[in-house]
């Protein structure tokens, strides 16, 4: 037990001293902070094994400090919130941000000791925190994303998260996750083929996370559809992700139409990193802190010029690319500071990054408005789809017909029906 260091953050001297005496008698090392400023300063210097954090403090409340630590990548230790007059909503918000537990004042001795013991068991595995929505930044794009997720939070239907390769899908799913319930991630499509209902048993009353549904083979898609029809029975929320537009895959018969309908009722688009570039410096510092504290890289810091260079990059690989660049820079620099000179070659190397594996064909984003009747939406998509293939083939109708799987007579009829002008491209029929 000795050696565990506990930081107590509370503006009431009597509570600080009482908790400190009890915990020191139990053999713990105790540090004290009377406000958020002191706690912030202490955390910037070192990582305690546990923090007991008061919610209501005069300079900065505990929830705000918790959010700061989450955004900065410093929420790598268990935090237990304390309050004498917090609401249930406040406690839920704290756990959603990343707090491990909540204690109501006055705190009974046995409650204190049992909570501390339970929290310290988590301390050893807390070095790599689950990235939360708060850690993605506070730009307008992230605030809009949070508002959309808040809107669907009470809904029980499956949720489909879409966006570019490398965006932060999992933090969004974590935001929809009810704390202290099962979280199950699909790790192999074969489970959906062999025993899909075992996933529901494991995730009962919790959340099932299915990454990249567009990559599932057809038999696994059938298993997922079967599973979706039984979600209510097991009280499971399903969150799926796709970095490829699903509708073109449905049209090409690579993705099950019924599964697409079941997944697309609640769709949220996760913004690419370039749409909230103002958050990049904080995200880079946060990732570097996490890498240092998990001992994956030596102690390093990013210079102001390096951070500005990162902010100006377009990030085709999004958050995943940012992590790779920060980690590579931290491992390869000779000094303690990562400079603009260290960053530039890594960004030039990633400039040609493919948003998907090169052997995976990627359909273009589909800018079809969903605020229109189905027939009009289908016609609009088909028009865009055929115009895309006409451009790609230079108007070669034989190649277009082969690509889209239509007889040439049917293709001409469809183009005429949709008002797509073939123009002089028809002369390329046999090239």
Q: Which are the contacts of 226, defined by CB distance < 8 A and separation ≥ 6?
A: 196, 197
Does CATH number 1.10.10.60 belong to domain 374-428?
yes
Give all strands (DSSP E) within 180-275, no chain letters. 183-185, 207-210, 237-242, 266-269
Domains 288-350 and 374-428 equal at CATH topology level: no
Cβ count within 10 A of residue 266: 17
CATH class for the domain made up of 5-128: alpha beta
Q: What is the pLDDT of residue 185?
A: 94
- pTM score above 0.85: no
Question: How many angstroms separate the Cα of 55 from the Cα of each of 11, 23, 129?
Answer: 10, 20, 21
For the chain, the domains span: 5-128, 140-269, 288-350, 374-428
Q: Give the Cα separation of 179 and 152 in Å (integer).
A: 17
- Strands of 201-346, DSSP E: 207-210, 237-242, 266-269, 301-302, 337-338
Q: Does domain 288-350 have CATH number 1.10.8.60?
A: yes
355 contacts 320 by C-beta, under 8 angstroms? no
pLDDT in tens, the chain (431 residues): 456 899 999 999 999 999 999 999 999 999 999 999 999 999 988 889 999 999 989 889 999 999 888 777 778 889 999 988 767 788 878 887 888 889 999 999 999 999 999 888 876 544 444 556 777 888 899 999 999 999 999 998 999 999 999 999 999 998 898 877 899 999 999 999 999 999 999 999 999 999 999 999 999 999 999 999 999 999 999 999 999 999 999 988 899 999 999 999 899 999 999 999 999 999 999 888 878 877 788 989 999 999 999 999 999 999 989 999 999 999 999 899 999 999 999 988 765 544 444 333 444 445 566 667 777 777 778 888 888 788 777 777 877 887 877 877 878 888 888 888 765 444 445 44
Whether domain 140-269 has CATH 3.40.50.300: yes
């Amino acid at each position: 037990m000795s050696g565990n260091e506990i930081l107590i953050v509370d503006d009431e001297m009597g509570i600080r001293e009482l908790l400190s005496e009890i915990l020191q008698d139990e053999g713990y090392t105790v540090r004290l902070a009377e406000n958020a400023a002191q706690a912030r300063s202490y955390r910037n210097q070192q990582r305690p094994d546990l923090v007991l954090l008061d919610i209501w403090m005069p300079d900065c409340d505990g929830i705000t400090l918790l959010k700061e630590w989450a955004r900065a990548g410093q929420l790598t230790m268990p935090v237990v919130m304390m309050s004498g007059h917090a609401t249930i909503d406040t406690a839920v918000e704290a756990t959603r941000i990343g707090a491990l537990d909540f204690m109501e004042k006055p705190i009974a001795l046995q409650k204190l000791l049992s909570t501390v013991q339970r929290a310290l068991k988590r301390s050893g595995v807390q070095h790599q925190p689950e990235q939360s929505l708060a850690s993605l930044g506070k730009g307008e794009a992230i605030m809009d994303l949070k508002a959309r997720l808040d809107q669907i939070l009470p809904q029980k239907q499956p949720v489909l998260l879409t966006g570019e390769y490398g965006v932060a899908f999992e933090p969004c799913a974590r935001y929809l996750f009810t704390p202290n319930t099962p979280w199950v991630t699909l790790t192999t499509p074969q489970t959906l083929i062999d025993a899909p209902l075992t996933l529901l048993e494991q995730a009962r009353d919790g959340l099932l996370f299915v990454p990249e549904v567009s990559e599932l083979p057809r038999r696994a898609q059938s298993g997922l559809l079967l599973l979706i029809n039984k979600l209510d029975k097991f009280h499971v929320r399903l969150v799926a992700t796709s970095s490829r537009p699903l509708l073109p895959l449905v049209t090409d018969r690579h993705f099950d139409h019924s599964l697409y309908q079941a997944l697309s009722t609640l769709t949220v688009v996760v913004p690419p990193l370039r749409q909230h570039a103002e958050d990049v410096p904080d995200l880079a510092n946060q990732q570097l802190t996490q890498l240092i504290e998990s001992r994956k890289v030596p102690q390093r810091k990013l210079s102001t010029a390096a951070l500005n260079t990162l902010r100006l990059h377009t990030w085709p690989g999004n958050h995943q690319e940012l992590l790779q660049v920060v980690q590579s820079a931290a491992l390869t620099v000779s000094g303690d500071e990562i400079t603009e000179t260290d960053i530039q070659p890594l960004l030039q190397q990633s400039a040609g990054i493919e948003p998907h594996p090169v052997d995976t064909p990627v359909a273009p984003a589909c800018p079809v408005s969903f605020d229109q009747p189905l027939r009009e939406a289908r016609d609009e998509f088909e028009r865009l789809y055929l115009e895309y293939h006409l451009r790609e083939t230079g108007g070669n109708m034989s190649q277009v017909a082969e690509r889209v799987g239509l007889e040439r007579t049917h293709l001409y009829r469809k183009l005429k029906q949709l008002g797509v002008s073939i123009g002089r491209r028809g002369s390329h029929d046999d090239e």
